[in-house]
Chain A
Amino acid sequence: MKTLIEARKVKAYYVLEIFGKQRTVKAVDEVDLDVQEGSIHGIAGESGCGKTTFLKVLFAAVEPPLRMVDGKVYYVNDAKAVDLYSVDESERKKFRWSFASYVPQGSMSVLNPVLKIKDTFRDFISSHLRGRSKNEAYEMAKEHLKELGLPFKILDAYPHQLSGGMRQRVTIALATVLKPKVIIADEATTALDVVTQRGVIQLLKEIQSRQGSSLVLVTHDMGVHANITNLLSVMYAGKVIEEGRTEELFEDPKHPYTQYLIKSLPRFGDRSKRESPPGSPPSLFNLPSGCAFHPRCPFKMQKCEKEQPATFRVSESHKVACWLAEG
C-alpha cells in the first residue's frame, strides 16, 4: 500500500492578539498521519478538537491567524515525495485539485452566487488543465456529472436555485472532476438532513471506489465512520489519541474517550440511556497538564495528570496514547 500523504509531527497554532494580549491556541499539536492509497481514512472527535484545522494543514490552506509552527507534510506523487511547505505557492497550486481536492463543510456559500454552475466548473478545470476550450470544459463537467448520476441540466442553473443536498453533491462533483488521488472532505454531511446524508455518503463511496482515490473524511458522527471508513483516527484536544483499523477500534477501543464515543452510538433494540463523557472538552487556550483527557477520565491515575501519554502499539495496526495501555 503506497502512502500518498505523510504528515510528520505537525504543529499548527492560531496566534491571536486579542486586545493587546498575545494568545496562542494549540489547535494541532504533534500529529502524525499517513494517508494510504485507496483507503478511506476517518478522523473523529468532538467539535473544537482541531480536526478541521488539521485538514487545512494537510491541504496547505494555512491563512493567518493559523500558522504552521513545526512538522512536515509530504505529498507522494508517483514516488516523488514533495514537502508541501518548502515549495512556493505556484508549485503547491499544481497539486491542488489534480493531486488532492477539498470538500468544504457548509456548501451554502461555497459556490459563486453570480456564476452559473457550468462557469464555476469551467474556472476550476481551465485553471489546471491548460488549453482546454470553453465547451471542452463543459463536456468534461457533463461527463463527470453523468458518471455520478446527477442531472446535467443543473449546469445551467445558479447555486441559489439548487436545494441544499443538490448543492453539496455539486460541490463534491466539483472537487472530484479532475480525478484527484486524495479527496479531503470536512464534515461533508453535517449540514444535511439524514436522508440526503445517506445519498452523499453513497456518492463519496462510489467515487472513491471507481476512481481508486483515497478519501480523508472528517466528521463527529461515529455512525458515518463505522459505515464507510476502513482506517480511523480519534483526535482529542489537538492530539491523535487512538488510531487503527475501524473494525478493531469499534470492537476493542482502548482509550476511554474512544469507548465513550462508541457507546454514544444508538443500536437497534438497545433501550438503555446513552452515556457521554462527563464535563466538556477543555479550552485550547489553557490545556490541562499531562493527558488532556484526565479531568474527564474515570480511570485517571497520578501519571496521567503529570505526564503526557506516549503512544503504544496495541497491535500491528492499532495504536493508542494512554497510560492504561502501558500496563
Chain B
Amino acid sequence: MYFAGIDVGSLTAEAILLDGSRVVASATRAARANPLESAREVLGEVCRARGIAPGEVRHTISTGYGREAICAEGLAEENLSEISCHGYGAWCLVPRVRTIIDIGGQDAKAIVVDADGGLDRFAMNDKCAAGTGHFLEHMGRTLEVELGELGRLAQSARRPVHMTSRCTIFVETEVLHFLQRGHCRADIAAGVADALAERVAALARRVHPSRELAMTGGVAKNVAVRREVERRLGLPLVDLRFDPQLVGAYGAARLAAQRGGNP
C-alpha cells in the first residue's frame, strides 16, 4: 500500500513514496515559483520511478511552505506543518532522537519530540535570516562556490576568518572584503560556517536541546556547519543515515501511512 509525503519549501521541493513503511522512491528538485508545479513534478517523478499512477497512492500529506496550496489543489489529502514532519521523520529514522534542528531556506527550527515522536516544544527564527539556508546560499554565491562544496572547502581551512557581524547583509560584505584582501576561500568558508552555526546554536538553546540531537534540511549536509554546531552546543550530532533534505517529506509520508490507515 502506497503513501506519499510532499515537502515544498522556498528553495527545494521533495517527495517520498512509501510502500507500507518502506521508502521505494524519492525526488528532489529546485523549487519553482509556483509550489503546485513543484509538487506535481516531484510527485509524478516518484510515481514514475515506481511505475504507478498517482491515483494508486492511498494517502498523501503535504508540508512546507506550499503545504496548504497543494492540499487545496487535491494533490494531498491533508497538510501538516514542517515542524511536525521533520520531528516525526527524524524520530522514525532514529527513535532515540529527541531534538531536531531543521534549517530550511528561510526558517530555522529547533524541535523537541517525545518518546513517540510527537511534538513537544519548538522554536523558530522569527527575525533573522542569518541562521538559514538562505544565508548559506548567498554566501556560496558571494564566494562563487557550489553550495555542496562549501562544507568540504571550509574543512580545509588553516586560519578561519572571524565574521564580526551576525547580519546576513553585513557578513556578505565582510566576505567580499576578505576576498579583496586576499584571504583564501577555505578560511572564509569556515568563517561563514561558524557564523551560521552561531545563530543556529542560539536558536537551539531556546528548546534546551538534549543529547540525542539531529540536524535536518539541506544545510545539514554542510560538514563544517555540523562540526561548529556540535562544538557550540557541546553535543554530538546523531547520524540519521538519510538525506537530511528528504527528512521532511519522509516524516510527512510516515504520518500519511500512520493516519491513512496503514494496517
Query: Are A and B associated in one complex?
Result: no
Mark B residues whose CB is within 8 Å of A: none
